[in-house]
């Protein structure tokens, strides 16, 4: 059996590894020049954490993980207004929580790829055909690849989704936020940040900073905004939105100016009536983007790819395997989407009163025995049912 996978991100690499270990021939096609390896911080939790454990990734990931002492929310002047011990979040997630650089997770999966996985970069898929019994893709080079199944794991702007299911904007539900994340070199900020995640929170906007290795700082920005065309200059968009803030924001923006590129997205959920058609299916952010929570996409991609690998490895009936994959993942994902929409309003309040209410709840939740107050928000990060217990 041969699988064609569009996209060499976490979802595509995970599925390729799972299938190849069971004897499949796997070709992973990607438009880029190499595996992406974006440099930003993610949180691996829930069934993503469980999938990584079952794949044997933990011995490689644990030394790369970052310890976090607490999460601090700051006001406009940089003063702490609420603090949540990190152990509270770990307890709410049953200890299955890990802070990683996305590139480290991707590299760990790459290192596990068997020799029967072929990685082909600079490959743009321009056409998909479905002759009886298999599927074919035509590449921009003119080459044709044939397989028993085609998986579109090529992100929120999936080319496979557009070719097979229709233009992507039809299925995209904008959440009302713009987000950006990147890593800068700022060793002078290290002592201030320590091992705490600091989040500067003002109405409509938040900036998060966390110290990582080699004098670097991982930064994320999120703000409420109407849906508009993506900015021609992401840096100018950040500067216009956050340029009036104090604390370390001016320094971070100045260092970001020197970056060749960084991630800037309009947060959206992708909602399709079905994820598969014949021998073709979607995976990861191409169909399962959920919320604003950092790392949600990585955890979901890892878990869903593991489930899809289980189903394809369990039968020779590809169409039935794709149906079972959707049947297992879609119901809990629908719950996560609803929780993600609710959590967005709580995570990034629109008004000063909303910030005061959130900070009051956080202060209460930090008291031992009252962490259950955060359960509704944490439920937006739980995907335990995606990977059933053994």
Domains of the chain, residue spans: 2-64+102-171+268-351
Enter the CATH code of domain 2-64+102-171+268-351: 3.50.50.60
Q: What residue has token string 């690998």?
A: 309
Of the two residues 288 and 71, the one the predictor is more confident about is 71
Q: How confident is the model at residue 365 (pLDDT cuts 50, 70, 90)?
A: confident
DSSP 166-231: --GGGTEEEEEEEEEEEEEE-GGGHHHHTTEEEEEEETTEEEEEEE-STTEEEEEEEEE----PPP
The pLDDT, as a whole number, for residue 306 is: 95
H helix or E strand, kind and range, residue 9: none
pLDDT (0 to 100) of residue 17: 97
* Residue 275 pLDDT: 94
Average pLDDT across the chain, whole number: 88
Pairing verdict, β 97-101 and 263-270: unpaired
- The count of other CB atoms within 10 Å of the CB of residue 22 is 13
Q: What pLDDT is stored for residue 111 in this prediction?
A: 93
- Per-residue confidence at 372, pLDDT binned at 50, 70, 90? low
Least confident of 114-118, 296-300, 326-330, 380-384: 380-384
Distance, C-alpha 13 to centroid of its chain: 14
Rounded to 5 degrees, φ, ψ at 366 are -75, -10
3-state secondary structure of 289: coil
Dihedral of the alpha carbons of 53, 54, 55, 61, in degrees to the nearest 10:
10
pLDDT over threshold 50, residue 389: no
- Tell me if 21 sits within 8 A of 201, measured CB to CB: no
Q: How far is CA 126 from CA 138, 143, 148, 274, 283, in A?
A: 6, 10, 19, 22, 19
Average pLDDT on 239-252 reads 96
Mean pLDDT over residues 132-153, rounded?
Answer: 95
Low-confidence winner among 20-24, 246-250, 289-293, 303-307 (lowest mean pLDDT): 289-293
Residues paired with 200 in a beta bridge? 74, 207
| pLDDT category of residue 358 using cuts at 50, 70 and 90 | confident
For the segment 202-220, the average pLDDT, to the nearest whole number, is 95
**Res. 101: pLDDT tops 70:** yes
Query: Cβ–Cβ contacts within 10 Å for residue 223, how many?
Result: 20
Nearest to 60 by CA among 112, 115, 116: 112
Closest CA to 3 of 11, 12, 123: 12
Query: Which whole-number Å values give the CA distances from 334 to 54, 246, 270, 288, in the listed order?
Result: 24, 39, 11, 9
Instruction: Inform me whether the pLDDT recorded for 340 exceeds 80.
Output: no
Distance between CA atoms of 85 and 380, rounded to whole angstroms? 19
Q: What is the pLDDT of residue 8?
A: 94
Tell me the percentage of the chain whose pLDDT exceeds 70.
89
Q: What is the pLDDT of residues 35-91, one digit of tens each?
A: 665 678 888 888 889 999 999 999 999 999 999 999 999 999 999 999 988 888 888
Residue keyed to tokens 């058609």: 277
Query: Is a pLDDT exceeding 60 seen at residue 28?
Result: yes
Helix (H) or strand (E) holding 144: strand 144-147
Of 94, 18, 51, 19, nearest in space to 303 by CA: 51
Q: What is the pLDDT of residue 337?
A: 74
Which pLDDT value is given to residue 113? Answer: 94
Q: What is the rounded average pLDDT of the residues 362-381?
A: 63
Cα 159 to its chain centre, rounded Å, is 18
Q: How far is CA 262 from the centre of its chain?
A: 15
Facing residues of 26 across strands?
3, 117
pLDDT of residue 390: 44
pLDDT, position 295: 56
Higher pLDDT, 346 or 203: 203
Write the CA distances from 46 to 88, 262, 316, integer angstroms.
Answer: 15, 27, 30
Which residue is associated with the tokens 């940040």?
193
At residue 378, the pLDDT reads: 60
Closest CA to 10 of 149, 100, 118, 109: 109
């Amino acid at each position: 059996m041969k699988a064609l996978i569009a996209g060499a991100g976490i979802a595509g690499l995970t599925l390729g590894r799972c299938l190849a270990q069971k004897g499949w021939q796997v070709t992973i096609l990607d438009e880029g020049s190499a595996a992406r390896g974006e440099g930003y911080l993610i949180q691996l939790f829930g069934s993503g954490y469980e999938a990584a454990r079952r794949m044997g990734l933990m011995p490689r990931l644990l030394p790369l993980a970052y310890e976090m002492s607490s999460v601090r929310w700051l006001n406009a002047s940089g003063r702490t207004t609420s603090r949540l011990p990190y152990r509270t979040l770990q307890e709410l997630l049953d200890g299955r929580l890990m802070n990683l650089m996305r590139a480290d997770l991707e590299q760990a999966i790459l290192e596990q790829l068997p020799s029967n996985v072929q990685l082909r970069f600079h490959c743009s898929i321009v056409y998909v055909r479905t002759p009886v019994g298999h599927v074919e893709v035509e590449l921009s080079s003119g080459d044709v690849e044939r397989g028993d199944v085609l998986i579109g794991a090529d992100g929120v702007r999936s080319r496979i989704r557009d070719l097979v299911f229709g233009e992507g904007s039809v299925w995209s539900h904008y959440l009302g936020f713009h987000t950006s994340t990147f890593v800068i070199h700022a060793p002078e900020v290290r002592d201030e940040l320590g091992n705490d995640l600091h989040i500067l929170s003002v109405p409509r906007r938040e900036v998060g900073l966390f110290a990582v290795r080699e004098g670097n700082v991982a930064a994320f920005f999120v703000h409420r905004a109407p849906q508009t065309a993506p900015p021609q200059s992401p840096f100018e968009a950040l500067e216009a939105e956050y340029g009036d803030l104090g604390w370390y924001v001016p320094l971070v923006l100045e260092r970001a100016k020197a970056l060749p590129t960084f991630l800037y997205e309009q947060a959206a959920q992708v909602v399709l009536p079905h994820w598969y058609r014949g021998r073709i299916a979607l995976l990861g952010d191409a169909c399962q983007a959920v919320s604003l929570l950092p790392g949600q996409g990585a955890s979901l991609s890892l878990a869903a790819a593991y489930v899809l690998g289980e189903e394809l490895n369990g039968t020779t009936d590809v169409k039935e395997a794709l149906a079972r994959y959707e049947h297992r993942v879609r119901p809990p994902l629908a719950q996560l989407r609803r929780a993600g929409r609710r959590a967005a309003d709580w995570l990034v309040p629109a008004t000063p009163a909303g910030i005061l209410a959130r900070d009051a709840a956080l202060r209460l939740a930090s008291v031992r025995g009252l962490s259950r107050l955060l359960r509704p928000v944490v439920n937006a990060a739980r995907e335990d049912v995606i990977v059933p217990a053994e």
